[in-house]
Structure 1
C-alpha cells in the first residue's frame, strides 16, 4: 500500500488514555509510546539545533539585504514556535498509536480527491512536489536500511492491531509515518518551503540516523511484553522438486553475522548490553546468587538473558541492573586473580567531590617527555585520591562503585590501547580524554551498558584514527589534526554536560564523512580501471578461444601459428572490446580467421589479395607500422614464404620487441591445485559477499593485520579488487587465492559486531573478565583477534 505524506484533518488528537483499546493493548502501547518519546525527543531537539544553525548560516550567505531579512524572519519564527514542535510531534505520534485499531490505518488514509480543474496546465505544485520527493526518499532509504528488524516490528504491530503484518509504508512507527508527521510539524512552524527542506535534511541526519536503534529497542520491549517473543526471520530458499542439494562444508567460525561494509568511522553500533548478557549467561552460576537483590540485581533463578528488562519501561533501573551485574563479574575476576578488594575508607567521597577533583586535574596541562610511559587510569585514580585527601583528610577514599568504575575504565582503556598504533597521535588524544571520560562514567553509570553513549562514541572515533589495522599511507594528517583540535575543546569545555561529547562526536563524524566521500571517488576510479583490465583479459581469452576453434586439428607453419597467436590475436581482442562478441564486426573477424587458416594450411590455394588487404588494415588499427603490417599480412594470406619485405628473423625480432595489447593488464597466475572442502566452502561464501566488505589480512609472523575493502569482483573470472581506507588500490587477488588464505586463517571477514574498535575492545574486556574468572569463553571468542 503506498504511503502518502498529505496531512489529514482529524480534529482533536486522540490519546492512549481515551482511545477505545483493550486494556492489555493500551498498556503495551503506552510503554511503546514512552520508549519512542524518550528516544525521539532528544534526537528532534538535536535536529532543531542543526536547523537553526543552518538558517543562521543561510542568512550570513545571503546575496541581498532582502534575502537576509527573510532568513532572519524565518529564524525568529522558528525561535517563537520551536517549543511547541517536539510536544506537537509526539502528540501526533500518540494519536497514530491510539488509532491503531480503527477500521483503516490512519497513515494509509488519503484526503478526498479534489474536483479536477483545467484552468491551469500544471500537474502538481512545485513546492509540494519537492517536499514529497525529499520525504519519500528519506523514508525509502531508512526502510531499506531497516531490514529484518523493521519486518519483525511490523509483525508485532500486526498482532497489536489484530490485522495482518504492517509493511514499512504503513507501520505506525515506521519511517514513512515519521516523515509524514514531520511534514505536519514543519507546516506548523509557518516557515517557507526552502526552510522546511532544511528541516527535513536535519531530521534525516539526527533522527533517522538513530531510527535503527529505536526499532531494536521496540522489538525488545514488545518481546518482553509477550508479543511474539520468539519471533525470528528465516528466509525461504526454494529447491528444485525431486533433487537434493549437497550441503557445502562448514566454514569455520562463520555464522549469520553480516560483513562490515561502511567506511572508517561509519561502522554500526553493536549492543554493549547484549555482549554483557552473553558473558553473564556463560557463567555457571546465575547473575544473583541469593534471592536478596543487591544494588538492583536480579533475583535468584532469573536467567541472565532475561534480567535486563524490568517490569516498567524506565531506562535508569535497567542500566543500574546491568551495571550491578557488571560489578559482580568484576568481583569474580578479582577473586580469580586473588586481588584483595580495596578496604572501605573511613570517609567516602561523594560523586560530586570526585568529579570536582577530576575537574582540577582536567585543567592541568598534559605533557609527556619522550620515552616516558603514558598515564593510565590507575595513575589517574591515585592522583584523584591524593588530591582529595588534601581537602577531605587522610582517611578519604573512593566508594566501591567508584573504585569499580575506575577498574572497568582501566580494563577498557587497556584493550583500546592494544588496538591503536603505539606511536600514533591517537594515543596522546586518548590520554587527553581520560579525565573527561572518567567524569562522564562516574556521573552516569550507564556509560558501560547504554547502547549509544556520546563519550564512548567519541572514544571510538578518536581511537580509529590511529587503529592498528591502518598502514602508514592510510593515515590522513588533515583528519588527525582536526580530531586533535576537537579533543582539545572537549578537554577544555567539559564540565558535566553530555552535549559537549555529542557536539564533538558530530564534528568528527562530519570529518569522517568527508573522508569517506573522497575515498568513494577514488574507489570508483579504481573499480573502473579494474573492470577495464578484466574486460581486456576476457577479450584476450575469447580471442585465443576463437583462434583455437578455427585451428582444431589443422597445423599451419610454426611461424604462421606464432603470428596468429600474437598479431592476429591482438586484432580479435580489440574487436571484442570495441564491438562485443555478438556484433557483425566480430563475426567478420571470425570469418577472416577461418580464411587465414584455410589459406596457410593449403599450399595449392591461390593468393587472396583481398584477404591480405583485410589483414593489413586490421593490423594497422592495433598499431602496427605499414611495412610490418604488410609483411605479416602476406604471410597470413598464403602458404608460401616469399622473400619480399623483412625476413622471418627480422620480423620475429620486431614482434618480440613490440608490446602486445594489454600485455601488462593482469599478471599471469600459476595454476593451483584443486581446492579442498574447507577452501571450497570459503570460495562459495566469498561469491555471495556484497561489494564493500572489509577483510583483515595477516601481514607478518607477529599477527599484525591490515584492513582492505573488497570493492569489486568478477564472478566469472574471479578477479577481485581491494582498496584501503582512503580508496587507494591495495591489491588484487583471485577469489580462489583469497579462499585459500581464509582457510589458512591468513585472511578473515570483518563482521559488523567487530567493526568498531571500541566494540572489539569491550568484547575483549568481557572475555578477559570471563576467562580470568575461571569460566570458559564461547567458541567464537577463541577465534584470533586483530592486534
Structure 2
C-alpha cells in the first residue's frame, strides 16, 4: 500500500471542484480512485444535461394543456441556467464525502438514509413521498445489478480508512450519489413530475455506468495492493469494437426514444407506495378490522382477470335503489366465489395482492360514506362508484399514489362540486345531481376493463362544472359588488345619522325643520357622502346649509342677527331647493316643505315688524336698517306682509323636541340586532371565524331539519360583514365577526373541510392502520 499524501491533484476534474477545507489525510490510492470517479461522473452529468432538453421538449410537445406545456418549457430554461451550478455542486459534494472518510463526527447522529418508512409516510407531503419512493427504486436497481462490486469496493475502502463504511454510506454508492444530486438540484423551481423525469435521466446517464466505475475502482485498489485476494466479478463486457463514445451515443439514442418512459417514471416509482400500504395491511391482518379468512388448504387464487369478470358481473347487477350502508363489497364478492367454487368443485379465493386492493378500496369508501363534508343526499350516488374504482385499482396500483390519476381526479372533482350542494325540493331536477347520476350510470354500464373511459368522463364533468362555475362566479361578483355598495351606503347613512343627532338631539325646533332634515336633507347628505366623501368640500357645504337652516328658525334679538337672517334667507332657500332637486326628492313633498318653512320665516319677519311698530308707538328709535332691509327684500310674500296690528298675536309654528336618536330606515326596513356578546380574542369560536378565508364553505343549521351550505364570498371591511353565497352565487347569509362567532359557539355553523376527498380518505386509512399497528 502506498504512503499517505497531503497534496491533492484536482486538475483532471476542474479547479472549482476542489475541497473547501483540508480533509483528513487520505491514502494516495484513494485519492486516485476519487479523481478518476469524479472525472467519470462529470462526463456522465454532461450527457444528462446534453439530452435533458430533448426529453423535456418531447414531453412539452405531448402536453395535454398549455399550463403543462409551459411547465416543461420553464423547466428546460431553468435547467439550462442552473446547469453549471448543479454540476459544480454535485461534484463538490462528491469530494467532500471522500474528504470526511478519515474524520470522526463526534456527537452527530448517523444519517437516516433508509427508504420510505411507514411512520414517515405522509400524504400531506406527496411530493416528498414520490421523490423518496423514486430514489429507493433507483438504488434498488443499482444494488441488484452491481451490488457485489459495490460491496467489494466498500470492503477495500474500510481497509484504508478509520471510519466504518457501509454500502449505503459509501461515497460512490448509489444512495449517496442520488441524495447529493437531489441536494444540488434544490435550486430548481420545477414541479415533482419534472423532478422525477430529471431523476430518471440521472439514473440513465449516471447510475447505469456505476458497474464500470466500481470495477475500475476495485482494479485500481487491487493494483495498489488493497485486498488483492478479494476477487471481484468482471464488469459487463461491451460488444467488440464498440467504443465508450459509441456506447454513450447508444444510450443517448435510447433516451431520446424513450421520453414516454421518462414521463411514465412517476408511475413506475410511486407504485412502490402500494407495497408500503400492503405492509401496513399485513401487520393488522387478523384483527377485528381485517379478520383472517378461513381458506381451504387446496384453495387456488383466482387471477386478476377472473376477479375483473366477477366485479363486472356485480357491477352490471347492482340495484339502482341499492342502499349504500347495506352494501358490503367484500361479503358480496365472497358469496360469489363460494357459489363459483361449489359449482366447479374447486375452492377458489381472491389472491393476496388483489385482496389487499379490495380491502384498501373498501376502507376508502367507508371513510367517504362517513364523511360529514359530503352531502348525505349524494352519498348514495357516490357510493355506487365503489366497484368501478376497485376495478381501476386492480388494473393500476398507482391509483393509490398518483394524484393526477383520472379515476382519482374524477372522485375529487365530484366531491368538490358537491361541497356546496344542498338538498332542496326535488333533488332529481337539480342539474348537478343529474350530472353526477349520469357519470355514475355511464361507468356502471360501460366500464369493463379500459380505464380510458375515466379520462373521457372526467373531461366532460370538468366542462360541465366549469360552465356552472363561470355562471356562479359572475353572480357571486355581482353579489360582492352589491354588498360593497350596501356597505358604502351604510357607512354614509351612519355618517348622516351622526351629523343629524349632533345637531338635533335634545333640541326643540319647528316640526317642519326636523322633518325636512330627517326626510329630505338626510338624502342629500348621503348622496354627497357617497359621491364625494365625508371629508370633501361638498360635504362640508351641505352641513353648512343644515346649520344655517337650524339657525334661521331660532329666536334672534340683536340687530346684527336680524340683518344676517334677512341676508341669509334668500340664499338658504335656493341652496335647499337645489340640494333637494339633486337628490330627486318628490317635488310635491318639496313644495309642502317650503310652504311651511316660508310660513315660519314670515312669522319671524312679522315679529320683527311688530317689534318695530311697538318701538315707534313708544317713541323708541326704530332700527331703520332693519326696516329698510325688509322693504328692499324681495322674497316671496315678505313684500306682501299685511299691515301689522299691534294687538294681533303671531301664530306660533308647531314645535317638536328631539328626544330619541335619529335612525334613518326605509319604510318597513329594520336594522338587524347583533347579539350583545363580547368574546375574548382567544375564544375558540372567534379563532374559528378568523381562520375563515374567502372561498371557505360552511354548513348552516337553519332549523332541526334543514341545513344550508354557504361559501364565504367576501369580508366587507367598512362594515365588518361576512357575506356567504350558495353554489349559484346568490347571497344566503351575512354576519358580523362576533355574530358569526356566536353561531360557531352554539353549533349552528360548521366549517367544511374542502381538501381533496380521496386524499383525505387515504390519509385517514393510513393513519388508522398505523394506530392498529401500534396497539
TM range (shorter): 0.5 to 0.7
Quote how far apart the aligned CAs of 1:524 are.
1.8
1:444 aligned to 2:406? no
Give the equivalent residue in structure 1 for 2:678: 673
Give the equivalent residue in structure 1 for 2:113: none
Describe the shift of the 1:664–1:431 C-alpha distance in structure 2 as closer, same or farther (beyond 3 A).
same
2:721–2:734 CA contact under 8 A, matched in 1: yes
Quote how far apart the aligned CAs of 1:435 are.
2.7
Give the equivalent residue in structure 2 for 1:715: 717
Q: Secondary structure at the match of 1:22?
A: helix
Matches within 5 A, 1:230-241: none
> Hey, what's the Cα distance between the residues in 2 that align with 1:526 and 1:613?
40
Describe the shift of the 1:21–1:771 C-alpha distance in structure 2 as closer, same or farther (beyond 3 A).
closer
Quote how far apart the aligned CAs of 1:732 are.
0.7
Give the equivalent residue in structure 1 for 2:330: 378
1:741–1:747 CA contact under 8 A, matched in 2: yes
Which stretch shows the higher mean deviation, 621-630 or 463-472?
463-472
Give the equivalent residue in structure 1 for 2:351: 399
1:341 aligned to 2:306? no
Quote how far apart the aligned CAs of 1:673 are.
2.6
Matches within 5 A, 1:225-374: 226-228=181-183, 314-316=265-267, 318-335=269-286, 337=288, 339-344=290-295, 346-364=299-317, 366-368=319-321, 374=326
Could you say what the CA RMSD is over the residues aligned between the two structures, in angstroms? 5.3
1:580–1:586 CA contact under 8 A, matched in 2: yes
Give the equivalent residue in structure 1 for 2:575: 614
Larger CA Rg, structure 1 vs 2: 2
Describe the shift of the 1:335–1:699 C-alpha distance in structure 2 as closer, same or farther (beyond 3 A).
farther
Quote how far apart the aligned CAs of 1:508 are.
0.7
Number of aligned positions between the proteins: 528
Give the equivalent residue in structure 1 for 2:590: 626
Describe the shift of the 1:681–1:95 C-alpha distance in structure 2 as closer, same or farther (beyond 3 A).
closer
Give the equivalent residue in structure 2 for 1:454: 406
> Hey, what's the Cα distance between the residues in 1 that align with 2:741 and 2:374?
32
1:543 aligned to 2:503? no
Matches within 5 A, 1:414-563: 414-419=366-371, 426-463=378-415, 470-472=422-424, 477-547=430-500, 555=507, 557=509
> Hey, what's the Cα distance between the residues in 1 that align with 2:447 and 2:495?
66
Quote how far apart the aligned CAs of 1:538 are.
0.9
Calculate the TM-score normalised by the size of structure 2.
0.56
Quote how far apart the aligned CAs of 1:519 are.
0.6
Q: Which runs of 5+ in 1 are unaligned?
A: 1-19, 49-85, 106-155, 164-211, 234-268, 270-310, 776-787
> Hey, what's the Cα distance between the residues in 2 that align with 1:388 and 1:762?
32
Quote how far apart the aligned CAs of 1:702 are.
9.0
Q: Secondary structure at the match of 1:497?
A: coil
Give the equivalent residue in structure 2 for 1:22: 42
1:709–1:725 CA contact under 8 A, matched in 2: yes
Describe the shift of the 1:398–1:636 C-alpha distance in structure 2 as closer, same or farther (beyond 3 A).
farther
Give the equivalent residue in structure 2 for 1:769: 769
Indicate which of 135, 144, 160 corresponds to 2:86: 160
Note the alpha carbon deviations across 1:208-238, whole angstroms, 9 max, x for none: xxxx9999978997995554489799xxxxx
Quote how far apart the aligned CAs of 1:502 are.
0.7
Quote how far apart the aligned CAs of 1:699 are.
2.2
Quote how far apart the aligned CAs of 1:532 are.
1.9
Matches within 5 A, 1:99-138: 100=79
Quote how far apart the aligned CAs of 1:512 are.
0.6
Calculate the TM-score normalised by the size of structure 1.
0.55
Quote how far apart the aligned CAs of 1:395 are.
0.8
> Hey, what's the Cα distance between the residues in 2 that align with 1:333 and 1:704?
41
Matches within 5 A, 1:84-103: 97=76, 100=79
Q: Secondary structure at the match of 1:472?
A: coil
2:301–2:348 CA contact under 8 A, matched in 1: yes
Quote how far apart the aligned CAs of 1:583 are.
4.8
Give the equivalent residue in structure 2 for 1:574: 527
2:324–2:383 CA contact under 8 A, matched in 1: no
Q: Which runs of 5+ in 2 are unaligned?
A: 1-39, 90-124, 136-177, 193-261, 607-649
Q: Secondary structure at the match of 2:404?
A: coil
> Hey, what's the Cα distance between the residues in 2 that align with 1:765 and 1:566?
65
Describe the shift of the 1:32–1:743 C-alpha distance in structure 2 as closer, same or farther (beyond 3 A).
farther
1:699 aligned to 2:704? no
Describe the shift of the 1:705–1:213 C-alpha distance in structure 2 as closer, same or farther (beyond 3 A).
farther
> Hey, what's the Cα distance between the residues in 2 that align with 1:677 and 1:326?
40
Note the alpha carbon deviations across 1:314-347, whole angstroms, 9 max, x for none: 4455334211221232344445537532245520
Describe the shift of the 1:666–1:701 C-alpha distance in structure 2 as closer, same or farther (beyond 3 A).
closer
Quote how far apart the aligned CAs of 1:39 are.
7.0
Give the equivalent residue in structure 2 for 1:727: 729
1:358–1:384 CA contact under 8 A, matched in 2: no
Note the alpha carbon deviations across 1:427-447, whole angstroms, 9 max, x for none: 454354333222111111222
> Hey, what's the Cα distance between the residues in 2 that align with 1:669 and 1:387?
66
Give the equivalent residue in structure 2 for 1:595: 548
Q: Secondary structure at the match of 1:341?
A: coil
Give the equivalent residue in structure 2 for 1:248: none
Describe the shift of the 1:382–1:36 C-alpha distance in structure 2 as closer, same or farther (beyond 3 A).
farther
Q: 1 or 2 for the larger relative contact order (CA 8 Å, sep ≥6)?
A: 1
Quote how far apart the aligned CAs of 1:100 are.
4.9
2:679–2:738 CA contact under 8 A, matched in 1: no
Q: Secondary structure at the match of 1:712?
A: strand
Quote how far apart the aligned CAs of 1:449 are.
1.8
Q: Secondary structure at the match of 2:696?
A: strand
> Hey, what's the Cα distance between the residues in 2 that align with 1:482 and 1:431?
15
> Hey, what's the Cα distance between the residues in 2 that align with 1:695 and 1:312?
36
Which stretch shows the higher mean deviation, 563-572 or 498-507?
563-572
1:693–1:709 CA contact under 8 A, matched in 2: yes
